[in-house]
Copies of this chain bind each other. A is one copy, B any other.
């Protein structure tokens, strides 16, 4: 989205006095993102990103900010939030909850080659392993409860065949034994636009504001559905093998996860079909959300109800 809430250089300069990051040199709005106002902030001491939260309730923000701080402390390239003179991350600017984070460098949205998929799989496993020692808990905000509620809202807008697909999928998903799967903190939105590349290395993983606690395999499925899908939605086997093999080398999949893999791919496809359909059919007043095509994820869901490659073909 574009910047919703304007911030003047004067107000920002004044606000930055609460931090030890030097003096404001430059500020520029960022025309990307879906639920916050973001700005590149350059000071005499460094480069940062300022985020004003437009929709997430203030009480839910510490989970995300301390998660990013925790993952950065564990050596992963995520936007570490900056503490102010009171050692706090969350402030208030222009009347909105606000945070300053380290600016990461790199290029997003690069083509999903097998080599990049391998690095993404390893990084996702690193995020999951580091998350195991994170102490705060907050449910996946787009988990099973949200899917049921959102399905009821968008169903009336769908044509008959899509209603049938939705009904069948919801009936299928309630029978999936997700409690048997390893749980943890998931990024839940590790799409290509949220990975910054520094050459062939990952220089940054951004946008943790859909993170929450859920089955780790759901996160793997979200990631595979974006990084390994061919046009039309079918999975590319070479990319799947690269991503899943690198993940498995860091955190080996369990038998329960192997069994649940096709169902998780469907659950992950359903989640993005529903959110895109909701953004399309039920736009919220005043929001300038970039509406993405719901049909892409309808087609991915249909593909996943057919055969999918097993989890890490060839591994024990």
Chain B proximity of A70: nearest CB distance (Å): 8
Cβ of A19 and Cβ of B73 under 8 Å apart? no
- Does any Cβ of B come within 8 Å of A102's Cβ? yes
With a CB–CB cut-off of 8 A, which chain B residues contact A102? 75
Cβ of A249 and Cβ of B23 under 8 Å apart? yes
A21–B23 CA distance with the chains assembled, in angstroms: 33
Cβ of A82 and Cβ of B77 under 8 Å apart? no
Within 8 A of B (CB), among A50-104: 69, 72-77, 80, 82-83, 85-87, 100, 102
Chain B proximity of A40: nearest CB distance (Å): 14
A264–B74 CA distance with the chains assembled, in angstroms: 39
Chain B proximity of A118: nearest CB distance (Å): 9
Cβ of A122 and Cβ of B22 under 8 Å apart? yes
A132–B72 CA distance with the chains assembled, in angstroms: 22
Cβ of A130 and Cβ of B74 under 8 Å apart? no
Give 8 A-B pairs besides A44-B122, A46-B77, A72-B80 with Cβ atoms closer than 8 angstroms.
Answer: A19-B75, A22-B123, A23-B122, A23-B249, A46-B201, A75-B83, A83-B133, A85-B133
Q: Which of these, B48, B76, B132, B246, contacts A46 with CB under 8 Å? A: B76
Chain B proximity of A122: nearest CB distance (Å): 5
A288–B69 CA distance with the chains assembled, in angstroms: 38
Chain B proximity of A196: nearest CB distance (Å): 13
Within 8 A of B (CB), among A117-156: 119, 122-123, 126-127, 129-130, 132-133
With a CB–CB cut-off of 8 A, which chain B residues contact A193? none
Cβ of A45 and Cβ of B83 under 8 Å apart? no
Which of A44, A76, A100 has the largest number of chain B CB atoms within 10 A?
A44
- Does any Cβ of B come within 8 Å of A202's Cβ? yes
Mask, A251-277, CB within 8 Å of B = 1, is: 000000000000000000000000000
With a CB–CB cut-off of 8 A, which chain B residues contact A246? 44
Chain B proximity of A80: nearest CB distance (Å): 7
A246–B44 CA distance with the chains assembled, in angstroms: 10
With a CB–CB cut-off of 8 A, which chain B residues contact A87? 73, 133
Cβ of B19 and Cβ of A74 under 8 Å apart? yes
- Does any Cβ of B come within 8 Å of A20's Cβ? yes
Q: Which of these, B83, B86, B133, contacts A73 with CB under 8 Å? A: B83
Measured CB to CB, the nearest residue on chain B to A42 is B201
A130–B73 CA distance with the chains assembled, in angstroms: 18
With a CB–CB cut-off of 8 A, which chain B residues contact A75? 19-21, 45-46, 48, 82-83, 100, 102
